[in-house]
Structure 1
């Protein structure tokens, strides 16, 4: 039996033993409910096994999206729409932009009316999540998300006290956060020294520039008029801020992780520089909470004890929103579905209290959407993960409305040019100007070949 299957079976048993009231009245006869999801295995691990245990009269058929790939010149949204028309799932899994489009075209069932009719509790759901989804669909609710992923800034209180640095606060700007990080030492051997901040999983110039730009609502392009916007003053300032921080020596960039081998589980846990007490701050998901607790059990006195979290950095002009909360997996019901009742029963269940209670016991890096089950026995500020209202990702906004090949080429161009800037082979302003020019050729349908031809002609 696989580890995932064992976990899922355990959660099923926990749910069945924990229910004080049995399942709701079942539909008459057997109903086949077609659900759109990545794959059958992942669906049953995430939702299906628990749902099937309580609702045996609803037969689930998973319509896998694994083979949804755009053809030449086609967008991912085009390919997804064709897939839905052909396979006709009852429950749809949509990205934010797909949900926005389908809701605007009247293709989704109004869930607000259904919730009111069945007295389904919407009040217990993270307010910012509902606000975000309604904002995508003109204030109406056509979709829901059972869970969400979020990041926050973790900090080591002992290191802040040791070096006399003020503690971070909720809703700081990136500039303020980096200023705090810069007050920690920058000397010493990579495997032993203290760092001010570990920015994220990727810590190169491209990644950090994207994080800073995203918090400010910047975008590399405007798909509506197919125009690049990469060399704006705001992008240049964001990239210069990132470049200065990286060159300042106070960011942890994984210098001591190259080909490192671990002979014990303790060594593996301590390789995380935050758990090992070598970074004053780190940006991570809720998964780090469980890793810290695991380390406290295994490492005892060697482990980090005195820590807390604050929200991700924000735009001071718009301090209550963030692009670091992911709710892209929006579940909705096709308004033309012949199985609306069964589909609504499924959405009620996976967004309900009992499902959230059970799933909260298996930390997978995300949170159940109900605030009641986002808690910490030690009083840490986990509200930092959902205090900000999600906003649409702007850095690559509407990328799924352009041909897939064009987007890939632009992504590669951004990575290559900022890599050159990171090595000091050009300034960040020069890099962004080159991204602007090369990206515009790509959007104009001329691409790399046309650019090389133009360059040869100039020579």
Structure 2
């Protein structure tokens, strides 16, 4: 397959690259055959995303791909035990000894600090690799994760932003949102829009979440504040705090204001075509003043505008973006921003110079320029020059915030008793009691703290025991709903 993709590179992309790619004498293409082994998801996607371009420019560097797909094919091991994916990936690295590994942010931090990679800064200095045009703060953040050294470079990033409909803000004489607003400030803006009219036709201030449940919205706000409900490393509950109280109260007040639109409200049966589907988004159809979404949504708005171009006022036209709501304690960070596909050179690499040549190319402005013409970009480019909009929208909002470190270490979470995973269900239950007016926020958080400590103190259940516990809990919930509805409860 590798050879097929390399041939495809010559046929399909050589014209694009030769027409638009000038190395300007900065690179010397060696005639000495070299070999690189790269660990990636799978061979096909690697060559489509990176290898085809690189192999066309560097035909004497032969790349082979170590696929990680086999690690994730099964949820259990040979003896029925749960798969330790971290160990499985490390075993694959030890066996195959790749020169380059593609990893995500949580893996990068751990492996970098364990000394698994080669520091890239000497290569950057030697080649005078220009980092000035990269996403602001990215290199510093990668150094922070690496304990002070730069061990890898991302090939892209993804983020969410707050879209707003300028026409609706102007119509009701409400000031536009700005970068780095908090959730409370965004909610206050949303509450300035009128709440009269039917659910199908009225204007909403903000589209947020799916179900309209307090649990969903409170957890979303708490996550943006960098709050976790548990410290898995110390096995202690952290949910009964002032930060959580503020997040739950803010979410509660927002829901009660009736200014929020939830996706569940658009649950009517749909059998139309793709254009009808695009119109179902209430921001697209001028019914919501603000919404949180990613860059792909811009394409959807443009597609809708093209299809409904003859119907004036049907599709949002005058819009812009600002950063997603932030925490006052972390005004320059966002949990919705993440650098992806980080490439690093392993300590055991026998061809580190060629490995750096690969990383330098896919991190270069030249590569970003060529990829900007193709349709399969992996998120945004790390070069801000190619994050642009001809219509003048505030695209800086996509990269203005740096990633916030994850609030929970999921490797540590996996070490907790299996039944602790039921906390999500208990949170739904307790926060619903608040939403229904049957409990105060303080009472719900105290109850969750107690229940969490109880689960943390237990030995981990077997799968059979856990399934039985879930069945009993589901039966209790059905009984409670029947009693609340005045139905006859049948006891089996």
TM-score normalised by structure 1 residue count: 0.87
Shift in CA distance, 439/31, structure 1 to aligned 2, threshold 3 Å: farther
CA contact (8 A) 2:136 2:400 kept: no
Shift in CA distance, 64/365, structure 1 to aligned 2, threshold 3 Å: closer
Task: State the match for 1:21 in structure 2.
Answer: 23
Shift in CA distance, 124/410, structure 1 to aligned 2, threshold 3 Å: farther
Matched, 1:127 2:136: yes
Task: State the match for 2:483 in structure 1.
Answer: none
Counterpart-to-counterpart distance in 2, 1:43 and 1:10:
16
Task: State the match for 1:401 in structure 2.
Answer: 412
Answer with 1 or 2: which has the greater Rg.
2
Task: State the match for 2:47 in structure 1.
Answer: 44
Larger deviation, residues 222-231 vs 138-147: 222-231
Counterpart-to-counterpart distance in 1, 2:183 and 2:88:
37
Task: State the match for 1:307 in structure 2.
Answer: 319
Counterpart-to-counterpart distance in 2, 1:310 and 1:272:
19
Task: State the match for 1:241 in structure 2.
Answer: 250
User: Pairwise mapping of residues 358-373 of structure 1 onto structure 2 (< 5 A)?
Assistant: 358-361=370-373, 362=375, 366-373=379-386
Matched, 1:391 2:404: yes
Task: State the match for 2:390 in structure 1.
Answer: 377
Counterpart-to-counterpart distance in 2, 1:223 and 1:366:
31
Counterpart-to-counterpart distance in 2, 1:399 and 1:196:
35
Shift in CA distance, 333/158, structure 1 to aligned 2, threshold 3 Å: same
CA contact (8 A) 1:214 1:393 kept: no
Larger deviation, residues 375-384 vs 424-433: 424-433
CA contact (8 A) 1:75 1:401 kept: no
Counterpart-to-counterpart distance in 1, 2:88 and 2:417:
15
User: Pairwise mapping of residues 35-434 of structure 1 onto structure 2 (< 5 A)?
Assistant: 35-68=38-71, 72=81, 75-200=84-209, 204-300=213-309, 301=312, 302-361=314-373, 362=375, 366-394=379-407, 397-403=408-414, 406=416, 410-418=420-428, 421-422=431-432, 424=435, 427=439, 429-434=442-447
Counterpart-to-counterpart distance in 2, 1:183 and 1:135:
41
User: How far 1:134 moved relative to its partner?
Assistant: 1.1
Counterpart-to-counterpart distance in 2, 1:303 and 1:432:
42
Deviations 1:262-292 (A, max 9, x none): 5344322211211111110000111122222
RMSD of the alignment, in Å?
Answer: 3.2
CA contact (8 A) 1:195 1:251 kept: yes
Counterpart-to-counterpart distance in 1, 2:302 and 2:262:
24
Gaps of 5+ in 2: 474-492
Higher RCO, 1 vs 2 (CA within 8 Å, ≥6 residues apart): 1
Shift in CA distance, 73/377, structure 1 to aligned 2, threshold 3 Å: same
User: How far 1:341 moved relative to its partner?
Assistant: 1.8
Counterpart-to-counterpart distance in 2, 1:196 and 1:12:
49
Counterpart-to-counterpart distance in 2, 1:203 and 1:134:
39
Shift in CA distance, 356/442, structure 1 to aligned 2, threshold 3 Å: farther
Report the 3-state secondary structure (helix = DSSP H, G, I; strand = E; otherwise coil) of the residue aligned with 1:309: strand
CA contact (8 A) 1:146 1:351 kept: yes
Report the 3-state secondary structure (helix = DSSP H, G, I; strand = E; otherwise coil) of the residue aligned with 1:291: helix
Count how many residue pairs are aligned between Structure 1 and Structure 2: 447
Counterpart-to-counterpart distance in 2, 1:270 and 1:216:
32
Report the 3-state secondary structure (helix = DSSP H, G, I; strand = E; otherwise coil) of the residue aligned with 1:366: coil
CA contact (8 A) 1:205 1:419 kept: no
Shift in CA distance, 340/207, structure 1 to aligned 2, threshold 3 Å: farther
Shift in CA distance, 42/432, structure 1 to aligned 2, threshold 3 Å: farther
Task: State the match for 2:459 in structure 1.
Answer: 446
CA contact (8 A) 2:34 2:61 kept: yes
Counterpart-to-counterpart distance in 2, 1:121 and 1:409:
50
Deviations 1:327-377 (A, max 9, x none): 153221102111212211111111111221233343768210001101111
CA contact (8 A) 1:148 1:325 kept: yes
Counterpart-to-counterpart distance in 2, 1:329 and 1:407:
31
CA contact (8 A) 1:27 1:342 kept: no
Shift in CA distance, 34/67, structure 1 to aligned 2, threshold 3 Å: same
CA contact (8 A) 2:371 2:377 kept: no
Shift in CA distance, 409/277, structure 1 to aligned 2, threshold 3 Å: farther
User: How far 1:174 moved relative to its partner?
Assistant: 0.5
User: How far 1:407 moved relative to its partner?
Assistant: 8.2
CA contact (8 A) 2:186 2:325 kept: yes
CA contact (8 A) 1:128 1:390 kept: no
